[in-house]
Amino acid sequence: MKTVFNIALGLCAVVLVYICYASIMGPINFEKEKSVRDKAVIARLMDIRKAQAEYRNLNNQQYTANFDTLIEFVKTQKLPFIFKQGELTDDQLEAGMTEKKAMRMINKAKKTGNWSEVKKAGLENFKRDTMWVAVLDTIFPKGFDADSMRYIPFGNGKQFEMAIRNDTAKSGAPFCLLEVKAPYDTYLEGLDKQEIANLKDLQEKMNKYSGLKIGDLETANNNAGNWE
């Protein structure tokens, strides 16, 4: 009987040790894995932000709420890149010369074949050419998979929540707001449910979004991330 009691007591001690270990290591392991997943989600949100910024530049200051449209833009659109050679001197600037005037003078010489005016203005080595470079070759690294932008890392195929809102400033000028979100429930799925619940509860008490996002549909914030 004493032996049975000692065995039971030993098992209880093992269970207590395990419970203590789990109570300490559980939150630590959760934070480690959360950090890994946060970084992956943030990286993709930043890719979306870059793509949306370029899309807006070429589409009348409008963002898109459609991933198909954004991905097609990244895959096929080209961006203007100005090749510059030579700079205007202080004397040229003081004389009223501008880059636009210089290029008009140079383009005129190209058409007429008369370069005397260009030489007189000292613009023989001044050059401005616009080249068009693919978005994929400009703002993303080689091998970037544009199709992956829509998917939340660790989200089992779920997509980011992306929305836009058009509004008008007090001055009367129109503007467009963007918001892209990844909720904790999606990309932390499979981790400790209680830890996720605690995290969400804390965010709600602080009146913050329970997840990671860029931009905001209520306040213009230059598409800042809520982790920044």
| pLDDT surpassing 60 at residue 129 | yes
Taking the mean position of all CA atoms in its chain, how far away is CA 133?
A: 20
More confident residue, 167 or 209: 209
| pLDDT surpassing 90 at residue 177 | yes
| pLDDT surpassing 50 at residue 21 | no
What are the boundaries of each domain within the chain? 29-76+141-215, 78-136
> 4 falls in which pLDDT band (50, 70, 90)?
low
Tell me what pLDDT residue 18 has. Answer: 46
More confident residue, 69 or 90: 69
**Residues 37-47: tens digit of each pLDDT:** 999 999 999 99
| pLDDT surpassing 50 at residue 201 | yes
Rounded to an integer, the average pLDDT of 157-186 is 92
> 23 falls in which pLDDT band (50, 70, 90)?
low
Rounded to an integer, the average pLDDT of 29-43 is 96
Rounded to an integer, the average pLDDT of 149-167 is 96
